[in-house]
């Protein structure tokens, strides 16, 4: 049987591309004038690099070959989410007054199983890792609780793999949609995820190797938090002491998003409290 440790960049890339096509509907979303402005800037920027850096034909052909490889391995979602999305997110959320957001990344799956708080994420009977109680409250910018807020949560396992993007994992492993109680409070039992490297056996890994970069992301929990009449917030939460907090390859870490879990009084793992503040819908 194929196991999660045998996951490949091509398989993960193909899965991320397929999910993107299923879940993101972008046809007609941008005017011709806007496409002209953005595409013209992009083409000019590439040509400016060529002239400024005096790019040779050998370098140009290597770049062309690499672009073809990104497409063949389906790694465009990975490439864009790792190296570009953090800037898009900053622009999109610049006017928010509530909680900080950050990138979604390529591994979100909608419609995860719904549970009422307190909840335990779906996991294997012998799920490796340190148990983690993640709890908090969802409020509006006026400080009022938001009853029934929805907390979508997903994260890698203790080996750094995501369900539905690595073989051998149950479909909804460490994924869930948790409904807060009447006070906007939630409690979610899960395990603390591990740091991981983005897939390095494909085109993105070839770029990382050629440039002498590292491929590591700090351990993190992904979340989408929403409530009626309020803006959805997409974010990630990290863990104090992780050695890649300061050099995340995806440039997605913000100081406000770093957790400091403590040991539970009963000795059963760790716990941490983090509240979400949602902006009103425009």
Give residue 21's pLDDT: 67
- State the pLDDT at residue 282: 80
Number of domains in the chain: 1
What integer pLDDT is reported at residue 74 of this predicted model?
86
Residue 32 lies in a domain: no
Mean pLDDT of 3-15: 63
> Per-residue pLDDT averaged across 239-266, rounded?
96
- Of the pLDDT bands very low, low, confident and very high (cuts 50, 70, 90), residue 22 is confident
Q: Which residue has the higher pLDDT, 246 or 20?
A: 246
The DSSP result for 69-82, as a single string, is HHHHTT-HHHHHHH
Domain-embedded: residue 195: yes
Cα–Cα dist 42/281, whole Å: 32
| Half-sphere exposure (Cβ direction) of 1: Cα atoms closer than 13 Å | 6
Q: Quick one: tokens of 96?
A: 């928010």
- Bigger pLDDT: 8 vs 221: 221
d(CA 159, CA 171): 16
Asked whether residue 183 is assigned to any structural domain, the reply reads: yes
DSSP the chain: ---GGG--HHHHHHHHHHHHHHH---TT-S-HHHHHHHHHHHHHHHHHHHHHHT--HHHHHHHHHHHHHHHHTT-HHHHHHHHTHHHHHHHHTTT--SS------S---SSPPEEESSEE----TT--S-EEEEEEEEEETTS-B-TT-EEEEE---TTS--TTSSTTS-TTTTEEEEE--TTSEEEEEEEPPPPEEPP-SSHHHHHHHHHT---EE--EEEEEEE-TTB--EEEEEEETT-TTSSS-TT----GGGEE--EE-TTSSSEEEE--EEEPBP-
pLDDT digits (tens, 9 = 90+) for 112-136: 999 999 999 999 999 999 999 999 9
Question: In this prediction, what percent of the chain has a pLDDT beyond 70?
Answer: 90
The pLDDT tens digits of the residues spanning 133-184 come to 999 999 999 999 999 999 999 999 999 999 999 889 999 999 999 999 999 9
- Asked if residue 70 belongs to a domain, the reply is no
Residue-level pLDDT at 270: 97
What's the rounded mean pLDDT across residues 191-199? 93
pLDDT grade, residue 250 (50/70/90)?
very high
Q: Judging by DSSP bridges, how do beta strands 276-278 and 131-140 pair with one another?
A: parallel
Q: Is residue 77 part of a domain?
A: no
pLDDT at 1 over 60: no
- For the chain, give the mean pLDDT: 92
Segment 240-246 shows an average pLDDT of 96
20 found inside a domain:
no
Asked whether residue 67 is domain-assigned, the answer is no
Separation of alpha carbons 40 and 47, rounded Å: 11
Q: What is the mean pLDDT of residues 211-239?
A: 97
Quick one: pLDDT band at residue 5, thresholds 50, 70, 90? Answer: low
Residue-number span of the structural domain to which 140 is assigned: 92-278
Asked whether residue 114 is domain-assigned, the answer is yes
CATH of the domain at 108: 2.60.130.10
Lowest mean pLDDT among 30-34, 90-94, 256-260: 30-34
The per-residue pLDDT for 6 is 58
Position 56 scores a pLDDT of 98
Alpha-carbon gap, residue 246 to 253, rounded angstroms:
8
């Amino acid at each position: 049987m194929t196991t999660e440790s045998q996951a490949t960049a091509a398989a993960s890339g193909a899965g991320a591309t397929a999910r993107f096509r299923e879940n993101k509907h972008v046809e007609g979303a941008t005017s011709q004038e806007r496409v002209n402005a953005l595409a013209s800037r992009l083409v000019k920027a590439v040509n400016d690099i060529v002239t400024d850096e005096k790019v040779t034909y050998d370098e140009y052909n290597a770049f062309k070959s690499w672009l073809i490889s990104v497409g063949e391995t389906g790694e465009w979602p990975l490439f864009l989410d790792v190296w570009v999305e953090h800037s898009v997110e900053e622009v999109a959320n610049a006017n928010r007054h509530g909680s900080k957001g950050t990138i979604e990344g390529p591994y979100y799956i909608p419609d995860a199983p719904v549970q009422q708080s307190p909840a335990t994420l779906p996991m294997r009977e012998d799920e490796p890792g340190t148990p983690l109680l993640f709890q908090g409250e969802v409020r509006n910018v006026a400080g009022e609780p938001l009853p029934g807020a929805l907390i979508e949560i997903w994260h890698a396992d203790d080996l750094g793999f995501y369900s539905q993007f690595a073989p051998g994992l149950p479909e909804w492993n460490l994924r869930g949609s948790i409904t807060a109680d009447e006070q906007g409070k939630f409690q979610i039992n899960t395990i603390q995820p591990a740091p991981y490297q983005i897939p390095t056996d494909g085109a993105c890994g070839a770029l990382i190797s050629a440039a002498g970069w590292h491929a590591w992301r700090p351990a993190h929990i992904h979340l989408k938090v929403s409530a009626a009449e309020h803006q959805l917030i997409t974010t990630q939460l990290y863990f104090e002491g992780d050695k890649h907090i300061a050099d995340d390859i995806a440039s997605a870490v913000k100081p406000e998003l770093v957790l400091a879990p403590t040991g539970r009084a009963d000795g059963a793992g760790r716990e941490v409290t983090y509240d979400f503040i949602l902006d009103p819908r425009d």
